[in-house]
Amino acid sequence: MELALFGAREDVMGNGAETVANAGTIGDEMWASGAISEAADRLVAEASSYNERIADVRPASPELAESFDELLFRAGETRGRGKLYPYLGSGAGNGALVELRDGSVKWDMITGIGVHYFGHGDPDLMREGVLGSIGDTVKHGNLQANWESYAFAETLLGEAKKHSGLRHCFLSTSGAMANESALKLCLQKHAPACRVIAFADCFMGRSIVMSQIGDSAGNRVGIPLSQHVDYMPFWDPDAAAQMGKARYIDMAVAHLVQYLDRYPGQHACFIFELIQGEGGFNVGDRDFFKALIDVCKDRGVAVWDDEIQTFGRTDRMFAYEHFDLGEYVDVFCVGKMTQVCATLFTEDYNPAPGLLSGTFTGETPTFRVGRRIVERLRDGNYYGPDGSNARHQRAFREQVGALMKKHPAWFPAVDGLGELCGGIGGMMRMTPFGGEKAKIAALSKILFEEGVIVFWCGHSPYHVRMLPPLGVMNESDWPRVFEVVERGMARAAKELGVG
């Protein structure tokens, strides 16, 4: 077999079928073709020769402004939304840097809200996509699938099984749909119980039911309420420190028991987003979660762990590993960074036939890229107290600390928020300008123009949020990123009259 450019793999060109004997099909011959392998290498090398020319931040080109605005307007017309968020990629990018169609190059510190952990133009992932695109169909379904979809599921389950009882996996094409499947599993298992418990400030996606569970009034305008939800306060380290941790946890447990007693036998599940994403990068606490989980286990309420935003980004691959809670998780969802969205569940939650299905599960390139991402996370040095996720978090905090020291007026204290810089691993937040919504939004826009793409999270206070492509970043990139951040913040402070 030909040696592939990105590491020789003695399999059928990495489509995941390497663990079974070659069946001798025409398809096997095609996947093993040296000519196809070489052609893929050549395609990737050619594309990379363009991507590699992207080496630093660059302002938009005035000559491209008109055509960019026109395309953005046309894009907005298709959505019926007027002018959209001003991002239209050119298709070229290099690691944490991405080129837009207006000719600008920016640090991508948000990566499609946490999707592109390996950044832009990654040759290895590009190769998986190229090879995936020569399969006989683009889409796989629940009725007719090629092996790649199950190869992805096996690889993900291989990691999940290490520290949890999760045994099976149902694939879908969005996080919201993975959550819908999770809810169905909980409802069927505990029927006729139909209430759910969720944390305040949680986000679950934008299907009709997930918009109702997600704790954001603006996301459910005009949606008739059909799902009963009881909200629990999330872990608040400052309140816990003030009143004493044990007392805080006792109060939370009493709160939960009150709900369960008010509606006996009517709760199907408790949704744990162990580190809140949209809610503000709020990091939970093991003792707090464990006390609530103990009540759930005692009262027959499913423990559902939504890791759609956290997966891969803490100091372990799974947030439940970070909190050492894997053995208690009944149902689990993942998406974003994995490219493929999935609902994992224990043997106990394996549903009756007919509950979960659908035309599409995903596409061959997506499955191949997703599988490779999980393999690279597994085999790399991302995790542990000195893994690169933890080291990048420290580097981020150092940069914010230096900014706070140099420009204290940009960082006034925020009521009820102990730290103005926080998060964990590849989930990073800072809270300048008092965490005021309008100012954080204006700052994000200015940072975008200056050359750093960020977004916001939280609900009063609002934070500047980063979900950077840590898989391709060096710690030495942070001073370069923050040089642009400081320039943008100085401009924003002036324009907004801060400090």
The site for ligand PLP (CB under 6 A) is made up of 113, 174-176, 179, 203-205, 273, 277-278, 306, 308-309, 335
Q: Which is nearer to ligand PLP, 121 or 205 (CB)?
A: 205
The two beta strands, 360-363 and 421-424, are unpaired
Q: Which is nearer to ligand PLP, 176 or 356 (CB)?
A: 176
3-state class (DSSP) for residue 301? coil
- The Cα 34–Cα 42 span in angstroms is 12
257: exposed, middle or buried (Cβ count in 10 Å: 0-12, 13-18, 19+): middle
Q: Which is nearer to ligand PLP, 135 or 326 (CB)?
A: 326
Q: Which is nearer to ligand PLP, 40 or 166 (CB)?
A: 166
Q: Which is nearer to ligand PLP, 335 or 435 (CB)?
A: 335
Q: Report which residue's Cβ sits closest to ligand PLP.
A: 175
Look at residues 337, 289, 302, 300 and name the one whose alpha carbon lies nearest to residue 317: 337
- The Cα 6–Cα 127 span in angstroms is 9
* Cα 433–Cα 437–Cα 438 angle in degrees, nearest 5: 85
Alpha helix positions (H), 52-135? 65-79, 111-114, 123-132
Q: Which is nearer to ligand PLP, 362 or 451 (CB)?
A: 362
Lookup result for tokens 């919201």: 176
User: DSSP assignment of 378-423, as one string?
Assistant: HHSS--STTSHHHHHHHHHHHHHHHHHHH-GGGS--BTTBS-SEEE
Q: How far is the CB of 310 from ligand PLP (least distance, A)?
A: 7
Q: How far is the CB of 202 from ligand PLP (least distance, A)?
A: 7
Strands, E, within 152-264: which ranges?
Answer: 168-172, 195-199, 229-232
Which residues are CB-contacts of 422 (< 8 A; sequence separation ≥ 6)? 281, 283, 429, 430, 431, 463
Q: Which is nearer to ligand PLP, 175 or 370 (CB)?
A: 175
Q: Report the residue count for the chain.
A: 499
